[in-house]
Amino acid sequence: NTYGIHSIGDLAQTSPDLLKYRLGKCGMMLVRYANGEDHSPVANQDYEAPAKSIGHGITTKEDLENSAEVWNIMLALMQDVGHKLRVYDKNAGGIAIDIRNSELAHKQWQCQLPASTHSTSILAKEAFSLFSRSYRWEFPVRSVPVRAINLSPQSCPQQIDLFTDYTEINRKERIENVVENIRDRFGKYAIMPAALCRNIKMPTDREIELKMPTGMIG
């Protein structure tokens, strides 16, 4: 208002140099957009932006009081994350967790994986290891969103090292691919970890909350 800008029309007539001085590059963009100028390439009608992460999160039915309960939830969530990685033909190069405690305070952590993978069991163990190293248990846990980050195509070559057991990673991926095929035929609960067959404070499928920030598949 100080500069007499009250509408899009006023913005379109404003000196670009003035807005650049006050707002930097954003000022120049505002003037261009106000005048209908957009130099970004036009995408095809069926274009889908590549996913930056794949995640799943819930608010539990009851607060989680110990690490064993958190592990069960993470293992359950990773069943869906691993499934989506296979559907989109992606490997994860890292893991991110967003823990909310019973006081509704959030803490976020992330880490790189030794090797990119779509193995559900490996992702779950890495997420739980990150949680165990980071969370101090000042309060019980209320919600446990997990994300697979730094995605790459499964066909993409990756740098190997001398210390990672790639044979074991490949073995787990092959086994879980077979499990995935069985679930596709007979339902998602046809085969599941024994730890998830008891009450683990998970809401029903209808109550599950999918975390889907920009660029993320929930």
Considering only CA atoms, which of 123, 140, 120 is closest in space to residue 70?
Answer: 140
Q: Which residue has better confidence, 119 or 1?
A: 119
Superfamily of domain 53-155+164-217: DNA polymerase, Y-family, little finger domain (3.30.1490.100)
Helix (H, G, I), strand (E, B) or coil at 187: coil
Cα 89 from chain centre = 15
% pLDDT > 70, the chain: 92
How many residues are given for the chain? 218
Q: According to the model, what pLDDT value does residue 205 have?
A: 62
Rounded to whole angstroms, the Cα distance separating 174 from 13 reads 61
pTM of the model: 0.73
67 contact partners, CB below 8 Å, separation of at least 6: 128, 131, 132
Q: Helix 16-23 and helix 25-34: axis angle, to 10°?
A: 140
Helix (H, G, I), strand (E, B) or coil at 189: coil
Q: Residue 110: which H helix or E strand, with range?
A: strand 106-117
How many beta carbons lie within 10 A of that of residue 38, not counting itself?
10
Residue with tokens 């039915």, as numbered in its chain: 61
Asked if the model's pLDDT at residue 71 lies above 50, the reply is: yes
Rounded to whole angstroms, the Cα distance separating 184 from 176 reads 12
As annotated, the residues of the chain forming the CATH 3.30.1490.100 domain(s) are 53-155+164-217
For the chain, the maximum distance between any two Cα atoms, rounded to a whole number of angstroms, is 67
Asked if the model's pLDDT at residue 23 lies above 70, the reply is: yes
For 72-116, the pLDDT digits (tens) are: 999 999 999 999 999 999 999 999 999 999 999 999 999 999 999
Asked if the model's pLDDT at residue 45 lies above 50, the reply is: yes
- Grade residue 214 by pLDDT with cuts at 50, 70 and 90: very low
